Amino acid sequence: MRRTWLLFSQTVTVLLALWFIVATLQPGWLRGIRHTGAGITLLEAPATGTPGRAAGSLSEAARKAMPAVVSINTRTARGRQALPQDPWFRFFHGAPDEEAPAGLGSGVIVSPQGHILTNNHVIEDADGIEVVLTDGRKADARVIGTDPETDLALLKIELDALPVIVLGQMEPLQVGDIVLAIGNPFGVGQTVTSGIISALGRTQLGINTFENFIQTDAAINPGNSGGALIDINGHLLGINTAIYSRSGGNMGIGFAIPVSTARQVMQDLLREGKVIRGWIGVEPRPVSAEVAESVRLPAAGASGPAQGVLITGVLQNGPAARAGIRPGDVILQVEDTPVGNVSELLSQVAGLKPGNPARLSLWRSQSRVQVTVTPVERPVPSRR
């Protein structure tokens, strides 16, 4: 027994000595380091069944969502324009091209039946719309409906076995949450960028009529319009729509239409072919401190500013005029919901069902007044 133990001890000692020598003279043998012929030493991960991922990698979220984000190519015919048909125009400029240069954008597949959400400005005035999937398949798309006032459009393609993105939820979203933006910037191909939620509920930017944007610092560039803003689970949070930029490139301020708005618009377009909103025919303006003081508008709270929206114009014979609303009135509530600003008033009135009477609370002559207005369907906006 003693001889066996002695032999074991000597073997362990020799092995430790060999390990020490190798670790000192050739440490690469122990760490998977490979020496190249050019004298450069490269550190390589050991060969395993699955590639290693850094802690905090967002590759799984990107892998889930990327197949459902498509590139959209549009083409607009010039033959409709009157000027190129003029003989003098042809004499000086030559015959025009049959088609204008292609436009680029992105879209998101939201149903196995081939429905795609994108921005209205991506496909507006297009005579042809081609959708290109990440697997290389292509298909012509037809327009189901558009909603210029939220800058959303719904397309449909006829292909089988389509990848579909999962719609996320807005309720748990908070400023500081990590997000990814996926799209086709500048036509270079599908690109993924990362960032955080910088703000929620951005309004009064002058981009759309109805605004409730998610703001992010994830890089969004031309061509990303209509692409996906996703969370770390690969779920759709918004449709990328605009950037703030003085140069045309990304400056860290991008805006996406929330998935809650996109879902509602999509359902309306599928059901009605258009989005039906309420309208009462007034011209609203924010209530300034001077106006609030002059009409003695009470503050919303003990120390908070006065709330409400000043009416500066009323359409003759419109729903508001028939209900007795006058310029100078301040709308305080629509039904039981307080009105804080112009954006809130537009959204609340738009949510009213045309033909159904609704109660409005006004501030007039230093007192509250209740009126009942019957909204009509919001007119189609004029082209901007």
Q: What is the CATH number of domain 166-272?
A: 2.40.10.10
> Which residue from 109, 173, 170 is spatially nearest to 137, judged by alpha carbons?
109
Contact indicator for 258, 170 with CB cutoff of 8 Å: yes
Which of 106, 121, 217, 361 does the annotation list as catalytic?
121
Polymer length of the chain? 384
Secondary structure (3-state) at 271: helix
For the question of residue 121 being annotated catalytic, the response is yes
Secondary structure (3-state) at 280: coil
pTM score: 0.72
Q: What angle do CA 239, 243, 248 make, to 5 degrees?
A: 135
The residues with which 279 forms a beta bridge, in sequence order, are 376
pLDDT, position 297: 84
Kindly report, as residue ranges, where domains of CATH 2.30.42.10 are found in the chain. 278-377
Residue type, 369: V
Which of 71, 106, 147, 151 does the annotation list as catalytic?
151
Residue 17: phi and psi, rounded to 5, are -65, -40
Write the Ramachandran bin of 252: left for phi over 0, alpha for psi from -120 to 50, otherwise beta. Answer: left
pLDDT, position 303: 47
pLDDT, position 172: 85
Q: How far apart are alpha carbons 171 and 260 in whole angstroms?
A: 10
Q: How far apart are alpha carbons 262 and 227 in whole angstroms?
A: 12
pLDDT at residue 35 greater than cutoff 60 = no
Secondary structure (3-state) at 14: helix
- Here the tokens at position 23 are 């670790």
Alpha helix ranges (H) inside the chain: 2-25, 28-31, 59-65, 87-93, 120-123, 259-272, 289-294, 319-323, 342-350
Least confident of 45-59, 134-148, 211-225: 45-59
CATH class entry, domain 278-377: mainly beta
CA distances in angstroms from 273 to 101, 110, 122, 144, 268, listed in the order given: 29, 17, 19, 7, 7
Which of 225, 343, 347, 361 does the annotation list as catalytic?
225
Strands 235-243 and 166-167: parallel
For the question of residue 225 being annotated catalytic, the response is yes
194-224 per-position pLDDT tens digit: 999 999 888 777 777 777 889 998 888 888 8
Kindly report, as residue ranges, where domains of CATH 2.40.10.10 are found in the chain. 67-156, 166-272
Residue type, 41: T
Contact indicator for 249, 221 with CB cutoff of 8 Å: yes
The residues with which 255 forms a beta bridge, in sequence order, are 215, 242
Least confident of 99-103, 312-316, 346-350: 99-103
> What is the CATH T-level fold of the domain 67-156, as seen in this structure?
Thrombin, subunit H (2.40.10)
DSSP annotation of 209:
S
pLDDT, position 300: 62
